[in-house]
Amino acid sequence: NAGVTQTPKFQVLKTGQSMTLQCAQDMNHNSMYWYRQDPGMGLRLIYYSASEGTTDKGEVPNGYNVSRLNKREFSLRLESAAPSQTSVYFCASRWGGYNEQFFGPGTRLTVL
Amino acid sequence: QQQVKQSPQSLIVQKGGISIINCAYENTAFDYFPWYQQFPGKGPALLIAIRPDVSEKKEGRFTISFNKSAKQFSLHIMDSQPGDSATYFCAARNTGNQFYFGTGTSLTVIP
């Protein structure tokens, strides 16, 4: 089992460019999450998907869109990147209930 | 507005000592409180978690103490080891299955 995988690992964008961060899990989990991690801020939830076909906004959704393509995949799109979106992005998944949340290795994004 | 407040920001402990990290929250709808450990360049990994109907949970050298009336919970690492040097995050889950994280504590255990 690969667990939670994220691509790419690193990305540099110019202001205004768009890109999609990919996330996939092979644990048959229902719920998937996108977080951003910034120094001194901890992890903040961007979007959450309870199941295939559903998505909900988290704490910091502005400037992002998501797609729950199927049960395995949950992508995060930046339509017009801004320097404030420079961060490390983590995808996570969990079965539900009180079960553990598993995190991917992260994508380090720099917006110039 | 930070929904989960965590302290201290950094902590230095001698090998064999006790590391204590504290968190506080306001939202009484939170129903699950996990702690995560993160090493540089890696994603967070679940360390230990507690539900609010329990006042203490112990797993090996790691213990969560939970005070529901004070809306506070803490992580105690007994017999701290250099391999425990990492960043620790507390978190809380609301009834909508969304997680709110503290700002993290960088722990250094000196040999």
**pLDDT values of chain B reduced to their tens digit, one per residue, 111 residues:** 789 999 999 999 999 999 999 999 999 999 999 999 999 999 999 999 999 999 999 999 999 999 999 999 999 999 999 999 999 999 999 988 899 999 999 999 999
* Residues A101, B99: C-beta atoms closer than 8 Å: yes
Q: Name which of B54, B97, B103, B105 to mutate to probe chain A: the one with the most chain A Cβ atoms within 10 A of its Cβ.
A: B97
Please identify among residues 46-65 of chain B the ones whose CB lies closer than 8 Å to any CB of chain A: 46, 49, 51
Asked if residue A69 has pLDDT above 90, the reply is no
User: Which residue among B46, B49, B104 places its CB closest to the CB of A42?
Assistant: B104
The stretch A83-96 carries a mean pLDDT of 95
pLDDT band at residue A2, thresholds of 50, 70 and 90?
confident
Q: What are the backbone dihedrals phi and psi of residue A3, each rounded to the nearest 5 degrees, phi first?
A: 80, -125
Q: What are the backbone dihedrals phi and psi of residue A84, each rounded to the nearest 5 degrees, phi first?
A: -65, -10
* Residues A56, B98: C-beta atoms closer than 8 Å: yes
Predicted pLDDT of residue A100: 86
* pLDDT tens-digit readout, A40-58: 889 999 999 999 989 999 9
Flag whether residue B80 sits within 8 Å of chain A, measured between CB atoms.
Answer: no
**B102/B90 Cα distance (integer angstroms):** 5
Predicted pLDDT of residue A98: 77
Minimal-distance CA residue of chain A relative to B96: A50
Query: What's the Cα-to-Cα distance from A51 to each of A35, B55, B62, B97, rounded to whole Å?
Result: 17, 32, 33, 12
Q: How many alpha carbons fall within 13 Å on the CB side of residue A112?
A: 4
Predicted pLDDT of residue B22: 98
**B13/A111 Cα distance (integer angstroms):** 37
User: Which residue among B2, B32, B43 places its CB closest to the CB of A98?
Assistant: B32
